[in-house]
Amino acid sequence: MDFEDTPEQAQFRADVVAWLDANARRRTDNLLRGMEGEQAFLEAKDWYARKAAAGFACLTWPREYGGAGLTPLHDVIWAQEVAKYETRDAQFVIGIGNCGPAIMHFAEEAAKLELLPRMASAEDVWCQLFSEPSAGSDVAGLRTRAERKGDDWILNGQKIWTSGAQHSDYGVVLTRTDPTVSKYRGLTMFMIDMRQSGVEVRPIKQMDGGQHFNEVFFNDAVVPDNYRLGEVGGGWTGALTVLMSERLAISGVQPTGFPQFLDLVKSLELNGEPIANDPIVRERLATWYSQYAGLQAANKRMLTAVAKGGVAGAEASLGKLVGAVMNQEIANFACQLFGQAGIIQEDELSPEQAHFQKTVLFSPGVRLAGGTDEVMRNILAEQVLGLPQEPRADKGMAFQDIPNGKG
């Protein structure tokens, strides 16, 4: 890994810092700001529009698609500097990070030229419609149907855990178009207008009080064939493109909780003594620091490989697996340190503005989003370590013949 900026990269870094100084406030702490609600959404829309106007949106995308035509290392520089400011930079990471690459790979050129620049500036907001009540970890087990009718497709079914669907203008949806072949071969991916007739979005009230996730229902929703992404029956290839992009995008914004915990250890006292003197706290701090430093190095190694012409591989799953577990464990441990104050969720009354209490409530969802721990372990085992695949009883079986527990 090479951590030194070239002269061109140093100039780009200086330009980024100058623009951020003029357009955002520097952070005074490591606390992660909430991303919920209408106000946060409007702030993010405004932020992305200003980024795009300044030439900092979607740095690696071609210019004709609304990007800056730069390298992944420019993306790294931006991420390093923007982390020092209070912004809404990660608000639309799913649409831009997941849906954007799928459209770039599989959409017709006219659709790319029309839709991608609007996505880059958040003029249009996108969501990803994959998971279903009976197809979460096993995405290929989905049952949302798309049936051909002339030049259109008719969609019926349900998606769940769709982040940001209530604010989205468009989505990328994975459907089943042929149940007579294996579950991987009978899938087709489409773009869909989320505001059209036949699409119903129902926000899910979470235990942390937010409504980030949604259920989405399709009732005879009509999608034109020119909104198809890839070949009929080729949806699994497209889905893998989205999922690999998702893991790379998530690996860059996955909260670990460690910077916030380090700040807490520096400031908190227990029974009149600095909590940093407690041997259990010191042991946990050392363990989590080693994991955090390892993730930072692994992410930089992966980005260096991409910058040299490689692709984001299954290694991106490591950040999700380790980081999400750390985030939950740190939050639970911190709330135990607070004692009875650990149940207080008022920003003004709780240490660190109740960051850890809120994380306790939200972190189980982070463990699931983008793939469960078990899915991440299988990916790393099979695609990175080269271990044998897990036995799959439905391998080669037509989807319609797979037992589903409904008799």
Q: Is 146 strand, coil or helix?
A: strand
Neighbours of 306 (CB within 10 A): 20
DSSP 8-class letter at 33: P
- Residue 397's region, left for phi above 0, alpha for psi from -120 to 50, else beta, is beta
Give yes or no: 246 in active site.
Answer: yes
Amino acid at 12: F
Residues 81, 246, 329, 352: which is the catalytic one?
246
Nearest of 78, 52, 77 to residue 66 by alpha carbon: 52
CB 8 within 8 A of CB 238: no
CB 209 within 8 A of CB 35: no
- 174 φ, ψ (degrees, to nearest 5): -100, 130
How far is residue 352's CA from residue 205's CA, in Å, rounded to a whole number?
Answer: 24
> Tokens representing 334?
């911190």
Neighbours of 132 (CB within 10 A): 21
> Tokens representing 34?
């909430």
What is the number of residues in the chain?
407
CB 170 within 8 A of CB 213: no
Residues annotated as part of the active site? 246
